[in-house]
Structure 1
Amino acid sequence: MIAGGERTLNVVCVKWGDKYPAYYVNRLYSGVTRYLDRPFSFHCFTDNGDDIDPRVRLHDLPVEPFESELQAAMQRKGRKGAWRKISLFRPGLGGMEGQILGFDLDVVITGRLEPLVDAAPDKVAMRHEWRYEWKGQPGGHGSVFVFDPALHRYLYNDFAADPVGSVERNKGSEQYYTSMSAFRRGQLHYLPGSMVCSFKYDAARIPPLNLMMEPRLPLDCRVMCFHGSPKMEEAVEGFEAGLLRSTRPASWLKRHWRV
C-alpha cells in the first residue's frame, strides 16, 4: 500500500524449466522500471531463482489442488499453452492484492505502460489475438494481460472445478481459456493493437525488404511480443530463415532489451 490507501501495482511473470535464462526476468524487470512511473512490486514465480535480480520478489511455483489433473490433461497430444499461469488467477497468491500486470518472458518493453494498466481496470485486458482478429473472431493474446483476481474469481474457480474439461473446451490454450471466460461475461477488453505488437507481424519487413532493411519499431508500441520465432537474441543479431522469414539485425532492440 502507498499513501492515500492506493494499492501498489503487482507486475508478475512466471519462469519454469530451462527455456528462458534468469536474464530474461532481469531485463523484463529493467524494462518495467524504465517505462512505468508509479509504485509497483515485481514478482516472479519460479522453480529456480538463481541469478535473478534481488529486487525481484521470488516465489515458489504454486502447487495446485488440481495439479495431477492439469498435468494429465497437458500430456495429451495437441495440448499447448502456459497453463502454469492459471495460478496467477488465484486471489491472494503470493500475498498480492489488487491489480496485476502480467507478462510472458518473451516480450520487450518499448514504451510507457500506464495506458495499458489504466485501459480497463475493472476488466480482463489483453490484446486481440492476431489470428482471431483477422478472422473477426473473439479471443485474446496472453503475452501481456491486466486484471484483478478479486474481481474475476471465475478465472481460477471455473478451472479448478474442471481442469481437464477446461483444457479440452479451450483448444488446449491458456490464453483462449482466459480471454473467452472473460468474453462470455462481457468482461474482456482488448488492449490497443498499436501498443501491443508482434515482432513477426508488426516489425519484420515483407520480402524482399526483410533482406535489405532492419525491422521497424512501430511508433506507438509499448510491448513487443516475440511469440514463435525469432526470439530476442536472434532478432538482435539478425535472423536467418530463408527468403520469407529472415530479418536484418534490429538495432533498436539493443536499447530496450537490456538491464
Structure 2
Amino acid sequence: MLNVICIKWGTKYPAAYVNRLHRGVRRWLDREVRFVCFTEDAEGIEPGVEVHPLPREDFEDAIVAGMTRAGRKGAWRKISLFRPGLAGMQGPRLGLDLDVAITGPLDAIVDHAPDKVTMRREWRYEWRGQEGGHGSVFCFDPDLHPYLYEAFAADPEGSIAAHKGSEQYYTSMTALQAGQLAYLPGPLVCSFKRDAIPRLPLNYLVAPRLPGDCRVMCFHGRPHMEEAIAGYRGSWRHWSRPCGWLRHHWIGDDRA
C-alpha cells in the first residue's frame, strides 16, 4: 500500500486544502492508497482522510526556532514525516504540500525511483546547475532512508544551520550525500509562476497554461491558488489572467 501523507499546522491553510488534495490523489492514483493528514485541528476534514495528531518531537524547540528565525526558509515540522513507524505506516510514502494541485496521473512520480528519495530539482538550482531539491512533492521509504530523520534528530540546530535554514535543502542534500537522491523529471512537477504564466508581456494577453505532462502544479510564493484562479494583480510585472483549468483541477468547478 502507498502511504500518501500531508501535514497541516497553524491557520494558513484551511481544511479545504486537505480535502481537495485528498480528492486529487484519489482521482489520479489507480492503486490502494492510505491518505494520512497530521494536524492539530481536524475540523472540516472530510471522511476518507485518516487524521492523526501533529507529531511532537524531543527536539520541538529546535523545530519552532527554525520556523520562526529571521529570514526563515524551512517548514521544519515536516521532518517528523520521515520518522520510521510514524502512525504505524510501513512501506513507501508520497509526501505532498497542501499548496499543490494534482493535474494528472501520479504513477510516474511514485514509480520513478522507488528505492531512492525522489524530489524535483529546485527551479533556481536547476537554472544555476546546482544540486538541491524542491520539497512540495517527495517520495521515500523510511525503512530504506532512516537517516533523513536520524541525522536531524541527532543535531537539529546544526542541521538547520548547515542547510540554509531550508528543510527541502536538508532533505535533498542529506539524501544526495547518502547516494540516494533521484530527481524527478522536471515536466512532471511544475511551478505555476515559472511554468504556467506566460512571460511579459504575453501574461496580459494569454491565460496561464497547463503544461502537457504536468502531474503536480506547485504554488510556491505568489500567486496563491485562489489568486491564480481569480487572476493575479501583484504588480505590473507580476500579473496573470484568470486560470480556469486550476478551478477545474483543484476545486472541481468547470465554470469559465
TM-score (norm 1): 0.95
Moved more, 71-80 or 112-121: 71-80
**Preserved contact between residue 121 and residue 132 of structure 2 (Cα < 8 Å):** yes
Does the aligned pair in 2 maintain the 1:89–1:149 contact within 8 Å? yes
Give the distance between the partners of 1:134 and 1:124, measured in 2 at CA.
21
In the TM superposition, what whole-angstrom CA distance separates every residue of 1:189-219 from its partner, at most 9, and x where no partner exists?
0011101000000000111111111000000
Is 1:151 the counterpart of 2:139 in the alignment?
no
Q: Which amino acid aligns with 1:146?
A: C
Distance (whole Å) between structure 2 residues aligned to residue 139 and residue 113 of structure 1: 22
Q: Are residues 1:100 and 2:85 paired?
A: no
Separation of aligned partners in 2, 1:159 and 1:225: 26
Choose from 107, 112, 119 the match for 1:119: 112
Structure 1: distance between partners of 2:65 and 2:238: 35
Identity of aligned residues (%): 63
* Deviations 1:93-126 (CA, angstroms, capped at 9, x unpaired): 0111100000000000000000000000000000
Instruction: Determine whether 1:238 maps to 2:238.
Output: no
Unaligned runs of 5+ in 1: 1-7
CA contact (8 A) 2:39 2:51 kept: yes
Could you say which residue in structure 2 is the equivalent of 1:4? none
TM-score under structure 2 normalisation?
0.96
Deviation at 1:73, TM superposition (A): 4.0
Distance 1:72 1:234 in 2: 30
Equivalenced residues, count: 252
Structure-1 separation of matches of 2:90 and 2:202: 47
Q: What do you get for the CA RMSD once the two structures are aligned?
A: 0.9
In 1, the alpha carbon distance for the partners of 2:238 and 2:68 equals 31
Asked whether the equivalents of residues 63 and 77 of structure 2 are also in contact (C-alpha less than 8 Å), the reply is no
Corresponding letter in the other structure for 2:95: G
Q: Which one of 31, 34, 59 corresponds to residue 38 of structure 1?
A: 31
Provide the C-alpha distance between the structure 1 equivalents of 2:87 and 2:12, rounded to a whole number of angstroms: 23
SS in 1 for 2:187: coil
1:206/1:244 contact within 8 Å kept:
no
What is residue 201 of structure 1 aligned with on the other side? Answer: 194
1:165 aligns with 2:178: no
C-alpha distance in 1, partners of 2:82/2:76? 11
Q: Structure 2: how far apart are the matches of 1:116 and 1:42?
A: 16
Correspondence for 1:174: 167
Post-superposition, which runs of at least 4 consecutive aligned residues in structure 1 deviate over 4 A?
A: none
Give 3-state SS (helix, strand or coil) of 1:233's partner.
Answer: helix
| C-alpha separation in 2, matches of 1:74 and 1:44 | 20
Structure 1 residues 258 and 74: alpha-carbon distance in aligned structure 2, compared to 1, 3 A threshold? closer
CA distance, structure 2, for counterparts of residue 84 and residue 125 of structure 1: 19
> Contact 1:239 / 1:249 at 8 angstroms: preserved in 2?
yes
2:18 match: 25
- Cα distance in 1 for partners of 2:216, 2:61 equals 34
Provide the C-alpha distance between the structure 1 equivalents of 2:65 and 2:47, rounded to a whole number of angstroms. 35
* In structure 1, distance between residues paired with 2:53 and 2:243: 35
2: CA distance, partners of 1:254 / 1:74: 31
Change (3 A) 1:255 1:75: closer
2:191–2:219 Cα contact (<8 Å) kept = yes
Structure 1 match to 2:122: 129
- Mapped contact 1:207–1:243 kept (Cα < 8 A): no
